[in-house]
Structure 1
């Protein structure tokens, strides 16, 4: 499973914590240029136009046909289906929009992808909207098919201010879905920083051994030395170590992460980073990567890391922390929800605490970032009323993403589903609701999300501020203090984020050479970390990487970056 998929898992873990939505405000009201579509209203507009939108509702109703994969996490009540459920009824009653799947396919076993590719190959009619998370190659196939309109122009015309402001928090989310300078796909927004790591440390071990919070790598070495050699669990055995990491899948990953070690030396491995001169460089072939590998080699030799690190995936490595074998693990702020609480199954007195990512010898610190987007919406160029999709999505951004007190979605999206009344009070407790999540019935999977809202709210609550809005109150009731504190650290260190800056389709040379280069990189790094190769072997790796296609890929990646960063409106 990719890091993007794991990030989505982290968001899913918070779905019960964070759902609800936004302030009612006016929508964008720019009049469209003359196109082959009819004139459109804004989502909350009141004037009757040729589109049929009257007082914010289509009369007569219009239909939006769409496709999206339906995952096993989507749960319906008896008698309800993808085309007949509480959200479909709401869209009809509130907006005069009838939502209709062109066909229905599960997300498992690539069933959706297979059927959609077959539809493309046989030139079947596409629906009005395709909403998708998954195989990026499929996204590019759809974009390259020529069947979908420049959605960026439509977004500029019809998106409301709340949605536009959310998108503008990071305009680079458009880059993966651009072609020839046009924004073909609309990014589906997710919560910002949701997968960004903090350092989780066994606080009871720290207190027992009289250790202080590590602010630098040197400080951290002292902590790891004590965790490895001073019997922090008090069992009289030499059976603990410092840092739980696993690099079976890679070093810079979603949990049990070690990318921050590279960040301490000014780079991030296995991704394309933006340099000060505005160009992209591959983090695994920089001088900082060599320093990070030397550090990992030293730590492995001293016993601070698990000898099985090269065989551990992210989850297996974290299990060493929860089993009480390791004293430190690095991962997202939501880890108290899973899996960190398992540590108390093995030791009821165990305590853990979040700490900032430590700095390297030159005062640098770095962590990998999380994209503000986790999917894409494509709009059929033959859609008769594309403005109807914006009417739908604007309403969710303005009323659901951050609901006002007394608003339609103050307690949840639908009573009897994600919230119910118990003893005269609303509750979202799954024991009473049955665990239904109607936001998963929406075209865009989660309704609407404002990227900065979740983490900023968590950090605010961590500082003891009063929860006033419905969104804040839900988080306050549902989030443990350890998670709040970790979120505060994430925001305090937001300036150390190193984002993956190449988000386009694989370049021509990547398609031919990436497998060879990736194997070369993993083999070399593993040999160095385990001390089976000298650190100087890194230099010959870099030269071979460049001559085996890496130099050409670097040129192609930068050509892509200039095309999207210069072409974006």
Structure 2
């Protein structure tokens, strides 16, 4: 390997945490040997979900560089192609100094870690109070052979992503209440598809847009969660941890999705859609429901309001299969 790299398991959040910690120790050199000298250049590879990659004039980036005396040379790769780009970059051996990884446990990463391709951050974490404040489980669950080679995602277990996000202004336009269960969701999807929620006089909208992952239902997984009364693939039952793949709720989810697909309430091309295309369906006013994290919801709302000041997105906190069966 030409050089050792840090695996950024949390995209730019992890980077800012590391650099901010360095920047607080100016006597040791923020981001380099001499904080008062020439900025230290750091090569980075990360992904982006917006139509265009972030600008070098981005104020957050500029502030990080200012406070840490660094020059960030960032290679932005569309999220649609990031997995392929990651594999090519790892295979080439010509690695950036900081790199986002979605799966730190893939065989190639394990092998490269054993070969010394990545910096072991473990001995240094205790010296940085912000990183030390991360939950212990975050470090344990992203370590390889007891060593930490990257900065993990740290976000709440619940409430960040998993439930649908709905066009609130479309609900208002059609006089619909916020959906509380799957029956309500079906009615909303049907109304968004058939009742001209944007008021343009055309039948050109769809209820739900989504994409799927290689090994699971991707951002349609919320239907499985609701049907199984659980968040995620595993559930405790009778004191044992069970895989929900073959549970009745998983089958019921597939039946429900098959129904809405056949009725034209789910985007017909969802199996081939990329994440950016799902977002574009929302911002272009083609669809009324998607699944996203909370932060991008605000970004998408801002994009829509440039053309429609009344555009609004509402993130649902839960849905019920039937009354009393709540999935967080």
Is structure 2 residue 221 aligned with structure 1 residue 259? Answer: yes
Q: Which residue number in structure 2 is paired with residue 177 of structure 1?
A: 143
Q: Which residue number in structure 1 is paired with residue 175 of structure 2?
A: 210
One of 119, 127, 133 as aligned partner of 2:100: 133
**Structure 1 pair 20–115 and aligned structure 2 pair: CA distance change class (3 A):** closer
Is structure 2 residue 282 aligned with structure 1 residue 314? Answer: no
Distance 1:148 1:251 in 2: 30
CA contact 1:260–1:357 (8 Å) conserved in 2: no
- 1:364 offset after TM fit, Å? 4.2
The structure showing larger relative contact order (alpha-carbon pairs under 8 Å, at least 6 residues apart) is: 1
- 1:235 offset after TM fit, Å? 3.9
**Structure 1 pair 241–86 and aligned structure 2 pair: CA distance change class (3 A):** closer
Per the alignment, in what secondary structure is the counterpart of residue 320 of structure 2? coil
- 1:260 offset after TM fit, Å? 0.9
**Structure 1 pair 306–251 and aligned structure 2 pair: CA distance change class (3 A):** farther
Is structure 2 residue 257 aligned with structure 1 residue 296? Answer: yes
CA contact 2:208–2:289 (8 Å) conserved in 1: yes
Per the alignment, in what secondary structure is the counterpart of residue 231 of structure 1? coil
Per the alignment, in what secondary structure is the counterpart of residue 343 of structure 1? helix
Distance 1:224 1:215 in 2: 13
Count of aligned pairs? 283
Q: Which residue number in structure 1 is paired with residue 62 of structure 2?
A: none
Q: Which residue number in structure 2 is paired with residue 166 of structure 1?
A: 134
**Structure 1 pair 322–68 and aligned structure 2 pair: CA distance change class (3 A):** closer
Distance 2:170 2:55 in 1: 41
CA contact 2:138–2:154 (8 Å) conserved in 1: no
- 1:184 offset after TM fit, Å? 1.6
- 1:299 offset after TM fit, Å? 1.4
**Structure 1 pair 212–309 and aligned structure 2 pair: CA distance change class (3 A):** same
CA contact 2:226–2:321 (8 Å) conserved in 1: yes
Distance 1:303 1:351 in 2: 24
Structure in which a larger fraction of residues adopt strand: 2
Distance 1:105 1:345 in 2: 28
Distance 2:119 2:309 in 1: 57
CA contact 1:248–1:313 (8 Å) conserved in 2: no
Is structure 2 residue 151 aligned with structure 1 residue 188? Answer: yes
CA contact 1:178–1:185 (8 Å) conserved in 2: yes
Is structure 2 residue 186 aligned with structure 1 residue 221? Answer: yes
Alignment root-mean-square deviation, CA: 4.8
TM-score, structure 1 as length reference? 0.40
Distance 2:42 2:305 in 1: 44
Is structure 2 residue 320 aligned with structure 1 residue 343? Answer: no
Distance 1:353 1:149 in 2: 42
- 1:349 offset after TM fit, Å? 4.1
**Structure 1 pair 320–57 and aligned structure 2 pair: CA distance change class (3 A):** closer
CA contact 1:260–1:365 (8 Å) conserved in 2: no
Distance 2:188 2:220 in 1: 16
**Structure 1 pair 260–363 and aligned structure 2 pair: CA distance change class (3 A):** farther
CA contact 1:198–1:357 (8 Å) conserved in 2: yes
Q: Deviations over 1:510-530 (max 9, x none)?
A: xxxxxxxxxxxxxxxxxxxxx
**Structure 1 pair 329–251 and aligned structure 2 pair: CA distance change class (3 A):** farther
Distance 2:300 2:165 in 1: 12
Contiguous gaps of at least 5 residues in structure 2: 1-7, 35-39, 47-52, 58-64, 78-84
Larger radius of gyration: 1
- 1:332 offset after TM fit, Å? 1.6
**Structure 1 pair 342–161 and aligned structure 2 pair: CA distance change class (3 A):** closer
**Structure 1 pair 362–287 and aligned structure 2 pair: CA distance change class (3 A):** farther
One of 145, 160, 163 as aligned partner of 2:115: 145
Is structure 2 residue 90 aligned with structure 1 residue 113? Answer: yes
Per the alignment, in what secondary structure is the counterpart of residue 258 of structure 1? helix
Q: Which residue number in structure 1 is paired with residue 165 of structure 2?
A: 200
Equivalent residues in 2 for 1:23-38, closer than 5 Å: none
CA contact 1:241–1:325 (8 Å) conserved in 2: yes
Distance 1:151 1:237 in 2: 57
TM-score, structure 2 as length reference? 0.64
Distance 1:210 1:313 in 2: 32
